[in-house]
């Protein structure tokens, strides 16, 4: 089934947000994420990707426009109702860029039990989920380790595992591959691929053009001015150098070979491109 | 702060032999209660002799345990020094009247001068310093034998309120992250320093470092709160540590400690 026929999961309509006393982090941003999609929020540092994830997770609320999740608005008062908030938190998980912010329990096992406990799951079911996720993420050996003693790659996996025990259908991932070595990156990408295969919707904030095809099928590009620049399949975005330049994601520079002026970006994923002026 | 944090970091994976194995067999609930009993006995002990015994036992435990005992021992030594500083004024006659032991200049007109060190003062200062050092020594021994997570589990088993456990757990976590952050800032500064600066520069750097650390703490605290809310935490105290029931065998060691302690206190009062 084409993605267009899938039901919308998140509908973001004209969203504007500013932190107190600061210029807007997002201005008039609109797009839709459908069930089972893999969408990347692509933008340079400071373009508002993380803020958008926090809004999608109902941690902050837009000052203009609206965000709907499964047809219901995400608003402060709608998340005050105990049942509604439990339903939402169970369905949507957010992976923070800094795993130290996310891992606060005394051991990995307790960390994984945190969400099921908060969501009021029976302890047997919670334990069962922890075992399943420990095995899925191949971190059973870390079970009794304190999170602060783990490597960055292990912390990222534990942080992701701590979301999965809630049984989410949507994962919001903030720079999931940041700070990881190539092996850990590839391992994490495999896990995300598996999760997507299992039907999860993945929304990933990233500026890693090299990894974009592995992270998403579609990209929502944010401008340095915190507005929506484009919404297109990942490969189209990657081949649109003018768009990437406007998004401040590549640097196009000029140099001369004799009488000929070359203007070209450095593209890691496509080698060294040369364009005639 | 850094030293304390290093102490806990180091103690996360103790080798399961000797006293560690014994602590492992006893279980966290039992060990935590035993240490609590010991601290209670320390609180009620009166004579420097009994306090000395109660100080020597955990120090002996630390010495006998092996496995990175230097840091807990340093913690006990620092505590002893701090206690001595606090107890220092109690040595003098103006706080502890009594028989002058070291009267500088000798008695004046048959009266003890206020700056004279009295026998009561020595007794009180020794008791204060030994009491606080012995309490810290027992806690250090517990921290040496049990990883922090297990100490929390032990406390949870005895139904210590989850809010208090959450505070302890989060405090410990913050300490870890911040000490790492402070260390990185220090190293970053060293890597850009050609030679040691003067006192004014040092003061400026310490001030700026503290400010930066404060900003990072605030940011981290906000992120942690968001991460907790994101995973379903409401305004209630989050339950960070699972509660498992206390097994009957967990009562044995604390009961022995309580019995021995009561006997020692009874002997002391005879």
Is position A136 within any domain? yes
Whether residue A220 contacts residue A58, with contact meaning beta carbons closer than 8 Å, is answered with: no
Contacts of residue A72, Cβ cutoff 8 Å, sequence gap at least 6:
A78, A84
* A99 has pLDDT over 70: yes
* B47 has pLDDT over 70: yes
Is position A271 within any domain? no
Nearest to B168 by CA among A199, A53, A110: A110
**Contacts with B240 from chain A: Cβ below 8 Å:** 104-106, 110, 114
Distance between B72 CA and the closest CA of chain A, angstroms: 19
What CA–CA distance (Å, rounded) separates A66 from A250? Answer: 31
Least confident of A66-80, A230-244, B163-177: B163-177
Where exactly are the structural domains of chain B? 2-159+244-269, 162-230
What is the ipTM metric for this complex? 0.72
What CA–CA distance (Å, rounded) separates A83 from A120? Answer: 11
- Structurally, chain A folds into a number of domains equal to 1
Closest partner residue to B226 (CB to CB) among A59, A105, A118 is A59
**Contacts with B227 from chain A: Cβ below 8 Å:** 94, 96, 101-102, 104
Nearest to B221 by CA among B163, B175, B165: B175
* A51 has pLDDT over 90: yes
What CA–CA distance (Å, rounded) separates A201 from A204? Answer: 10
Is position A252 within any domain? no
**Contacts with A146 from chain B: Cβ below 8 Å:** 12, 147-149
What CA–CA distance (Å, rounded) separates B263 from B91? Answer: 31
Q: How many CA atoms lie within 13 A of B200 on its CB side?
A: 0
Report which of residues B194 and A104 the model is more confident about.
A104
Is position A276 within any domain? no
- For residue B83, the surrounding DSSP H or E stretch is helix B70-87
Is position A230 within any domain? yes
Distance between A213 CA and the closest CA of chain B, angstroms: 28
Report which of residues A22 and B195 the model is more confident about.
A22
Report which of residues B107 and A126 the model is more confident about.
A126
Q: Tell me which residue range forms the domain holding A191.
A: 3-239
Is position A273 within any domain? no
- The alpha carbon of B176 is separated from its chain's Cα centroid by a whole number of angstroms, namely 16
What CA–CA distance (Å, rounded) separates B217 from B207? Answer: 15
Is position A139 within any domain? yes
What CA–CA distance (Å, rounded) separates B129 from B77? Answer: 11
Are residues B232 and A107, on separate chains, in Cβ contact within 8 Å? Answer: no
Range of B38-47, B95-104, B167-176 with top mean pLDDT: B38-47
Whether residue B213 contacts residue B182, with contact meaning beta carbons closer than 8 Å, is answered with: yes
- For A84-87, the CB contacts below 8 A with 24+ separation are A85/B232, A85/B234, A86/A119, A86/A120, A86/B232
**Contacts with B242 from chain A: Cβ below 8 Å:** 110, 113, 117
CATH of the domain at A122: 3.40.50.300
A105 touches chain B (CB under 8 A): yes
Average pLDDT rounded to a whole number, residues A187-193:
92
* B1 has pLDDT over 50: no
Distance between A262 CA and the closest CA of chain B, angstroms: 39
* B7 has pLDDT over 80: no
């Amino acid at each position: 089934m084409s993605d267009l026929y899938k039901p919308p999961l998140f509908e973001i309509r004209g969203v504007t947000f500013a932190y107190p006393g600061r210029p807007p982090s997002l201005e008039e941003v609109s797009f839709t994420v459908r069930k089972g999609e893999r969408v990347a929020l692509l933008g340079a540092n400071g373009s508002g990707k993380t803020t958008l994830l926090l809004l999608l997770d109902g941690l902050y609320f837009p000052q203009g426009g609206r965000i709907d999740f499964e047809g219901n608005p995400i608003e402060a008062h709608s998340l005050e109702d105990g049942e509604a908030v439990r339903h939402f938190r169970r369905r949507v998980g957010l992976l923070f860029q800094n795993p130290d912010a996310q891992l606060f329990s005394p051991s990995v096992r307790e960390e994984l039990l945190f969400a099921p406990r908060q969501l009021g799951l029976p302890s047997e079911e919670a334990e069962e989920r922890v075992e399943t996720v420990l095995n899925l993420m191949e971190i059973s050996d870390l079970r009794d380790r304190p999170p602060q003693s783990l490597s960055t790659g292990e912390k990222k996996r534990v942080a992701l595992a701590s979301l999965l025990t809630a049984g989410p259908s949507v994962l919001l991932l903030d720079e999931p591959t940041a700070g990881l070595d190539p092996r850990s990156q590839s391992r994490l990408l495999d896990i995300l691929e598996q999760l997507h295969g299992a039907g999860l919707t993945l929304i990933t904030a990233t500026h890693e053009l090299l990894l974009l095809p592995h992270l998403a099928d579609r990209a929502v590009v944010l401008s340095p001015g915190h507005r929506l620049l484009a919404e297109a399949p990942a490969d189209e975005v990657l081949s649109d150098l003018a768009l990437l330049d406007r998004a401040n994601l590549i640097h196009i520079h000029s140099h001369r070979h004799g009488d000929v002026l070359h203007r070209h970006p450095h593209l890691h994923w496509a080698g060294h491109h040369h364009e005639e002026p | 702060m850094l030293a304390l944090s290093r102490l806990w970091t180091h103690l996360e994976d103790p080798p399961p032999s000797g006293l560690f194995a014994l602590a492992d067999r006893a279980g966290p609930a039992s060990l935590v209660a035993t240490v609590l009993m010991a601290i209670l006995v320390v609180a009620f002990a009166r004579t420097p002799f009994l306090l000395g015994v109660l100080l020597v036992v955990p120090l002996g435990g630390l010495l006998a345990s092996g496995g990175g005992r230097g840091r807990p021992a340093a913690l006990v030594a620092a505590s002893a020094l701090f206690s001595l500083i606090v107890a220092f004024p109690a040595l003098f006659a103006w706080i502890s009247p009594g028989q002058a032991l070291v009267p500088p200049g000798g008695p004046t007109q048959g009266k003890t001068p206020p700056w004279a060190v009295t026998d009561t003062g020595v007794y009180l200062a020794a008791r204060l310093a030994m009491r606080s050092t012995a309490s810290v020594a027992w806690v250090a021994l517990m921290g040496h034998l049990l990883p922090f997570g297990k100490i929390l589990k032990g406390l949870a088993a005895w139904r210590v309120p989850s809010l208090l456990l959450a505070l302890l757990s989060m405090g410990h976590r913050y300490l870890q992250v911040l000490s790492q952050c402070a260390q990185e800032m220090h190293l970053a500064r060293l890597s850009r320093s050609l030679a040691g600066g003067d006192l004014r520069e040092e003061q400026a750097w310490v001030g700026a470092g503290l400010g930066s650390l404060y900003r990072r703490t605030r940011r981290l605290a906000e992120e942690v709160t968001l991460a907790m809310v994101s995973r379903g935490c409401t305004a209630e105290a989050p339950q960070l540590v699972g509660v498992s029931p206390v097994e009957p065998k967990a009562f044995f060691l604390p009961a022995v400690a309580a019995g021995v302690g009561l006997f020692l206190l009874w002997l002391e009062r005879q």
